[in-house]
Amino acid sequence: MQSGKLVTMDEFTIQETRKFPQATGELSSLLRDLGLAGKIINKQVRKAGLGDVLGKHGATNVQGEEQMKLDIFANETLINILKNSTDCAGIASEENDDHLSYEDTFSANSKYVVLFDPLDGSSNIDVNAPIGTIFAIYRRVSELGKPCTEADFLQPGSRLMAAGYIIYGSSTMMVYATKVSVNGFTLEPSIGEFCLSHPNIKCPEDGKIYSINQGNSIKYTQEMHGYLNYCMEENKEEGRPYSQRYIGSMVADLHRTLVKGGIFIYPADKSAPKGKLRLQYECNPMAFIVEAAGGKVVCGKRNILDIQPTELHQRTPIFIGSKNMVSKALEFVREKEAVV
Ligand code: AFP
């Protein structure tokens, strides 16, 4: 990036696309649509507290979780923008029971489907902590020209074409990964554009922060306790004890992990033997991003990206972050956490 010259996300994406002569530009256009949705959600998030934006909506989602007003706003924004896009055949949202196929001719001829968590970390909305939107883009496996089907959404993460997130934090950033690289763009409010601020992000191989809901540790396995003790133990040469940081918003915890290094863990426990986080809406896109940045992701014995999903709202345990930290954690928990 030339110093002083702003490169917008669109400019960057188009330049990247030009490196692949066979590319049609559909993926770039879809990323632009997701960026637009992010800007609209951001506008509403930034007003939270002023209008009738905060608080509960009064309904629960498919997982029985209470929906916030901003959850609903973000979900509807994404659904409508992607419906009006010429490049999306359908969507699946963490907030909806089933996938939605857009049945107009343009959409039926589109080769991509998008899965998203419209507002991750929504229990943080009312306390002004970072929240985010997570998305995953697959090439559909169903026949072009017809409505997309559930099979398009039940693909393993290894088949992702791109994935990313928008974090509404101290600034608003969109980070997206293709198989080639991970890049971050900060929203420049005066021109209303995401501009390249974090080119070619690499997840540090080591870190000094572990991120886990340690309040749940009574429900963890002995092996997990062993790893937590290792993190807390004093060993000056190895830089321990590590610091513990946990926001409770995966986007925020993972963004820090990606940029600074560290490990984020949401393990299986006694009350959630398959873990809590959703495979397709949270874990796969984050795993794709972190792997593309050189980090490591597992759910015990296997790579999360290899799991063949069998249902839309499947859950999984996850260990993700700096390569060496994840490998070390696995030495403690390898067998016990392999529940999927
Ligand atoms: P919400 O969107 O309901 O706040 O859930 C956030 C989340 O899915 C993920 O972003 C966090 O890492 C995780 O749940 C926090 O869960 P705990 O509150 O159980 O630690």
Asked if 220 and 98 touch (Cβ cutoff 8 Å), the reply is no
CA distance 174 to 227: 33
Q: Which residue has the tokens 């992990």?
A: 257
Does the CB atom of residue 66 touch ligand 1 within 6 A? no
| Calpha distance 52→37 (Å, rounded) | 20
Q: Which residues of the chain have pLDDT under 50?
A: 1-2, 338-340
The C-alpha atoms of residue 165 and residue 184 are separated, in whole angstroms, by: 10
Give the closest residue (by CA) to ligand 1 atom 5. Answer: 121
The protein residue with its alpha carbon nearest to ligand 1, atom 15, reads 248
pLDDT for position 202? 98
- pLDDT the model gives residue 335: 56
Distance between CA 230 and CA 233 in Å, rounded? 5
Dist. CA 5–CA 260, nearest whole Å: 25
Cβ(120) – ligand 1 distance below 6 Å: yes
- Nearest atom in ligand 1 to the alpha carbon of residue 117 is 2
What distance in Å separates the CA atoms of residue 48 and residue 25, rounded to the nearest whole number?
35
Identify the residue whose tokens are 């949705």: 37
Taking CA 164 as the corner, what is the angle to CA 216 and CA 247, rounded to the nearest 5 degrees? 25
Q: Tokens representing 182? A: 């991970």
**Ligand 1 pocket mutation, candidates 71, 128, 249, 315, criterion most atoms within 8 A of CB:** 249
Q: What is the DSSP letter of 57?
A: E
* Cis? peptide before 309, omega within 30° of 0: no
Cβ burial, residue 202 (10 Å; 0-12/13-18/19+):
middle
**Is residue 249 within 6 Å of ligand 1 at its C-beta?**
yes
Beta bridge partners of 160: 138
